[in-house]
Amino acid sequence: MELCAPDLIEACILAGGLSSRMGRDKSHLRLGQRTLMGHIEKTAQLLGFKVRSIRRDSVERCGPMGGIATALESSRADCVLFLACDMPFVSEEFLRKMIKTLRRQDRAVFAAQNSRVGFPLLLRRDACLPIVLEQIERKDLSLRKLAKVLRARMLKPSRGQRENLANINTPEDLAAARKHRLK
């Protein structure tokens, strides 16, 4: 497999979740001057790739796997960088490091911290789409299991990059993010 050339990567921001713990659509919540979606869009645009949002999944009620399948099915890019709309602190630096981490023989790179595996993640479209669809068909919707099946490379943030993987799921998370943002 070839390395993903920068012009062959697309960034997809998943924003189709139910936001059940938040009680309303997280992508429209404000954090400072921007919405949560606005923060991640701005960061993704700094990379210079095509950026699009996935708000409706082709396979519903599958959590992030539905959005991943939708993006892979509709993308023309060799690699798709997946971002979550509720992770406004992901940095351009961390995402560039993720892209550089993908080796020729790799199908995927997932962010990992402690025992958690998830967003952001980078998938080779052709190699990963059949596996994602198979996982959905088996109702195996775990990103951790997907990473294992793909034998994904894991990218752990450095001590100074840990906030990159913070996501906002609850009103308490949002309040803490707003307080942190004011520092």
Distance CA 18, CA 78 (A): 29
Of 86, 11, 5, 4, which is closest to residue 46 (Cα–Cα)?
Answer: 11
**Residue 173: CB partners within 8 Å, gap ≥ 6?**
166, 167
**What length does the chain have?**
183
Q: Where are the domains of the chain?
A: 7-182
pLDDT in tens, the chain (183 residues): 445 665 689 999 998 765 666 666 788 888 888 899 999 999 999 999 999 999 888 777 888 999 999 999 999 999 999 999 999 999 999 999 999 999 989 999 999 988 889 999 999 999 999 999 999 999 999 999 999 999 999 999 988 888 888 888 888 888 888 887 644
Q: Which CATH superfamily is domain 7-182 in?
A: Spore Coat Polysaccharide Biosynthesis Protein SpsA; Chain A (3.90.550.10)
* Residue 125 tokens, joined: 């479209």
